[in-house]
Structure 1
Amino acid sequence: MLAENTHPWLLALTAVIPTVYASRRGSTSECSPVSFDIVATAENAILSPSYDPSNETSIINFINAMARGEVNPVVGSQNISGSFVINGIYCKPTKKVKKKRNALQILVHGITYNSSMWGGYHFGDRYNWHAYANGEGYHTLAIDRLGHGLNSKALDPHNVIQPMLQVEIYKELIQSIRFNTAANSLRKRFSNIIWVDKKVGHSYGSQIALPLARLCPNLTSALILTGWSSTTNLSEVQKFNLASASTLYPSRFPGLDKGYLAMADEALRAKMFYYGAYDPAIPAFDFANQDIVTIGEFAANAGPFGIPPAAYNKPVMVITGVEDGVFCAQPGVAARECEELLEKTRTDMFPGVPGRKYEYFAPRNTGHDLTLHYSARETFRRAHGFLDKYF
């Protein structure tokens, strides 16, 4: 099955991407839009025929039944091949650090988000991962996942935009950067690739980072996994309250396939993703500008994606807010419960990583979207303090 990534509207949208971020030291990050042409093949899932892909109600009922364990969403597999354009933002360091000159952080967002979240939605320097990392001497590349952000939404959200294809795409993308092949639009080879992942949804964090680490244990030099643990609270996941993106945002997503979904309840989204100390203007902006998730990303979230990458032995750090109701403790529960889950995550998911190479941090008074809380700068500081031990 061939997938074509056509996107004539991207040139117009590229103009709205910010090219400068203020850094924490008062200088500026020099940022520019980039795109990668990636050829990839994956064994995607064949979804159950028990729902009507053209009917929004049928799609939502199928997802809800799947979340309750009432239906098996996958009935087989099929090969998907194609050429895909992956867009992103590349930022150069604002401080020269010799040992980091070949170190690149690849920043990957979660479902219903895109690469713009790493810049903090322009709510200031305190939420801007790029600016902090660039001020520490790192190059950063925030990418839009397949079907998200500036990437084409002409692709099939049922059969094409699924986790396994995304894994293969990012494997090819990272290899192009590591070995400076023709697909590397950065035109610079980076020998140290640090994968920084933002996770949202039913074990969604494992869908890319874990298979990458399992299939290619030497592809990345370190992992920083945020908003995730090896334990998922399914009762929270079932509250997503999804609707077709074209129904919720008809002017932004006119005529989009019904399998492209978004969260329909603003108050519920704020409750799930935010807690305690945060700017109240951010959740409203977050909801109004949310991106999508596809039914394929939800339904194909099974099989190999939760298998621990036993051979991976590089440094790993997990950062999850104490009040992250999906992956850590429920609001009001002692912080130690969250920390115990993050401690347990190493033995559950990274048995090959020595204890001395594994760290976790659970910021207090912080929900799932930890980089958009007041504690964000402490998160940045802890993450880069960890990386400084190795780069």
Structure 2
Amino acid sequence: MSSFALLALLGVASAAKVCTNVTVPVYINARQAIFDVPTFETNLDAVKFSLDFTNIGMNYTDVVTKGFENFQGLYNISAKYCKPQGDNKANPTVQVLTHGIGFDKSYWDLSYNNYNYSYIDVAVAAGYHTVSIDRFGIGNSSHADPLKVQAPSEVSALHEITSMLRNGTFPSVSHKFGKVVHVGHSFGSLQSYLLTALYPGSSDGVVLTGFSMNGTWLAQTLADWNLHLARLNQPLRFGDQSVSRSKTNTAWLGQSLISILQSALSAIGINLSTSDLWQEIATTELGDIINGWNATVAPVAQNLPTGYLTWSDLTSNIFAFLYPGYFDVGAALFAESSKEPVTLGEIFTLGNGAPATSPHTGPALVLTGNEDTIYCGGRCESTGNPNLASIPAGVAKAFPNASKFEAYIHPNTGHGINFHYNATAAYKVIQDFLSSNGLQSS
């Protein structure tokens, strides 16, 4: 892999960390399913898909699976490598960070509120190096047929990244890492788990955030998302629309639209307040379109195929990812404006066929918000089993050989842990767990 050309895109330094954005060519090789699904044309097709997928009368994944293939090819993975400024440790530990559905690698280094929610800042301050990636098919990584972007191909890419870090061929890094740990969120946690199961010995320690192995609430999640075609939901980011602005074109689109609507409605005898109209706009797909137009930097139209989907609006985002009262509404708006899509292939492989156990022998931590709706149904401690402290604690069965297993339930937190007020407290739990199990940098 070291023979492939590599492009270092950007170097960024701060008082605590030095980061470099890189494009990493990886060779993906994965056995995965062939799904036969008609091409989507409209949002109604996405609704029909959700109905079929959640229908209790059939296993829709089995219905559309027509065989298996070896998916292979060279693709680019967008990554961000960070290390402590002035670091001179001989044996640093690197954390490989894998985001979940709806996010990209910025989940680990959120710019909102002057990086106050940055996981990477906390990890680097604890002496760790980090590599955060855009999963295959997402963000600035290579896009592909949405039916081909599945968990197995993404895990293959993660394994290649891990191997590069171990053998010293990861771009912009001049040494080999003797200790590599994997930290995931949600679908990224599933992929980190699959990495330990399918590539034994690849990880020295694993941290699975926003995770359990209980899929009871998958149908609820899809119902909440009210899936739409990403290219229609945010046409300026995911579609083929482009936006150009002159220096004089500085009016805020949302405010302009409110004024227009107020005038038009008033003309027919409907008088809605500015506040009511703002609520209507901000919490529907109109808000997604306006956010794209109002972006500081005009978005690049990705022209994604229709098999790239996303949830409908801000309210769906909050239901799935956030716990009301314990997050900044501005952060929620930021999350909605910067959300990433999910592929059909990913939905079909959300835990489908995952091994029940992993041979992983290192430490394993599961950290999930107590009010996680996706993996806990809204209350992780409500197990109905006096012998099971929490739903995520059940993951212990998947790690029978782990040197240490711990399930930690973070209070007042929903599924999207990093967007909550107390996110940094969760980050500290992770660093303490790793260091207490011999995985600190030295």
Q: Show the counterpart of 2:341.
A: 292
1:38-57 equivalences under 5 Å are: 38-49=26-37, 51-54=38-41, 56-57=43-44
1:360-379 to structure 2, matched below 5 A, reads 360-379=407-426
- Structure 1 pair 280–84 and aligned structure 2 pair: CA distance change class (3 A): same
Cα distance in 2 for residues equivalent to 1:308 and 1:37: 31
Q: How does 1:251-270 map to 2 (within 5 A)?
A: 251-253=236-238, 254=240, 255-270=303-318
* 41 and 361 in structure 1: CA distance in 2 versus 1, 3 angstrom threshold: same
Q: Is the 1:278–1:374 Cα contact (8 Å) retained in structure 2? A: yes
SS in 2 for 1:36: strand
Deviation at 1:205, TM superposition (A): 3.7
Letter paired with 1:344: G
| Aligned residue runs from structure 1 range 107-122, under 5 A | 107-122=97-112
SS state at 1:127 partner: coil
In structure 2, distance between residues paired with 1:144 and 1:135? 23
Match of 2:17 among 26, 29, 32: 29
Unaligned 5+ segments in structure 2 are 1-6, 241-302
Unmatched tracts of structure 1, length 5 or more: 1-9, 22-26
Measure, in 1, the Cα distance between the counterparts of 2:189 and 2:424. 22
Question: Structure 1 252/336 Cα, relative in aligned 2: closer, same or farther at 3 Å?
Answer: same
Contact 2:16 2:84 in 1 (8 A): no
Deviations 1:240-259 (A, max 9, x none): 21111110111112232101
How far is 1:74 from its partner? 2.0
Matched, 1:136 2:136: no
Which region of structure 1 is more displaced relative to structure 2, 72-81 or 108-117? 72-81
Give how far 1:52 is off: 3.1
CA deviation after TM superposition for structure 1 residue 335, in Å:
9.8
Contact 1:325-1:331 within 8 A present in 2 as well: yes
Q: Amino acid of the residue matched to residue 128 of structure 1?
A: S
Distance, in Å, in 2 between the alignment partners of 1:97 and 1:309 is: 38
Question: What corresponds to 1:320 in structure 2?
Answer: 368
Instruction: Spell out the pairing of 1:1-391 with structure 2 (5 A cutoff).
Output: 19-20=12-13, 27-49=15-37, 51-54=38-41, 56-69=43-56, 70=58, 71=60, 72=62, 73-94=64-85, 96=87, 98=89, 101-153=91-143, 155-158=144-147, 160-181=148-169, 184-200=171-187, 205-206=189-190, 208-232=191-215, 233-238=217-222, 239-253=224-238, 254=240, 255-275=303-323, 276-305=325-354, 307-330=355-378, 339-347=389-397, 349-354=398-403, 357-389=404-436, 390-391=438-439
Contact residue 98 and residue 192 of structure 2 kept, 8 A: no
Q: For residue 7 of structure 1, what is the aligned residue in structure 2?
A: none
Give the Cα separation in 2 of the matches to 1:57 and 1:324.
29
SS at match of 2:375: coil
Query: Percentage identity across aligned positions?
Result: 26
2: CA distance, partners of 1:209 / 1:143? 12
Contact 1:74 1:300 (8 Å CA) reproduced? no
Does the residue aligned with 2:333 lie in a helix, a strand or coil?
helix
Q: Is 1:53–1:258's contact at 8 Å kept on the other side of the alignment?
A: yes
Q: Deviation string for 1:298-334 (max 9, x for gaps)?
A: 12335432x1343112100111000001112525976
Q: Is the 8 A contact 1:213 1:309 kept in 2?
A: no
Deviations 1:100-133 (A, max 9, x none): x331001110111100111123324441111111
Question: Structure 1 residues 237, 189: CA separation in 2 closer, same or farther (over 3 Å shift)?
Answer: same
CA distance in 2, matches of 1:334, 1:300: 27
Give a deviation string over 1:252-299, Cα, whole Å, max 9, x none. Answer: 122321011111121121122111311111111111110111111112
- Whether the 8 Å contact between 1:92 and 1:134 is mirrored in structure 2 is yes
Note the alpha carbon deviations across 1:85-109, whole angstroms, 9 max, x for none: 101111112475847x331001110
1:314 to 1:212, Cα distance in 2 relative to 1, 3 A: same
Rounded Cα–Cα distance in structure 2 between residues aligned with 1:231 and 1:335: 11
2:327 and 2:419 in contact (8 A); partners too: yes
Call closer, same or farther: CA 1:59–1:79 in 2, change over 3 Å: farther
Task: Give the Cα separation in 1 of the matches to 2:342 and 2:109.
Answer: 20
Q: Taking structure 1 as the reference length, what is the TM-score of the superposition?
A: 0.85
Q: Is the 8 A contact 1:93 1:134 kept in 2?
A: yes
What is the CA–CA distance in structure 2 between the aligned matches of 1:259 and 1:84, rounded to whole Å? 19
Query: Contact 1:210 / 1:309 at 8 angstroms: preserved in 2?
Result: no
CA distance in 1, matches of 2:21, 2:384: 41
Aligned CA distance change for structure 1 residues 41 and 333 (closer, same or farther; 3 Å): closer
CA RMSD across the alignment: 2.5
Shift in alpha-carbon separation, 1:95–1:230, aligned structure 2, 3 A:
farther
Residues of 2 paired with 1:310 and 1:28: CA distance?
Answer: 36
SS of 2:123's equivalent? Answer: helix
Give the greater-gyration-radius structure (CA).
Answer: 2
SS at match of 2:366: strand
Per-residue CA deviation, residues 223-255 of structure 1 (Å, 9 max, x unaligned), is: 011000111323432322111111011111223
Cα pair 2:97 2:182 within 8 Å, conserved = yes
Question: What's the CA shift for 1:188?
Answer: 2.4
Q: Secondary structure at the match of 1:190?
A: coil
Letter aligned with residue 79 of structure 1: N
Q: 1:277 to 1:336 in 2, by over 3 A?
A: farther
Distance change >3 Å, CA 84–CA 124, structure 1 → 2 = same
Cα distance in structure 2, aligned partners of 1:96 and 1:248: 43
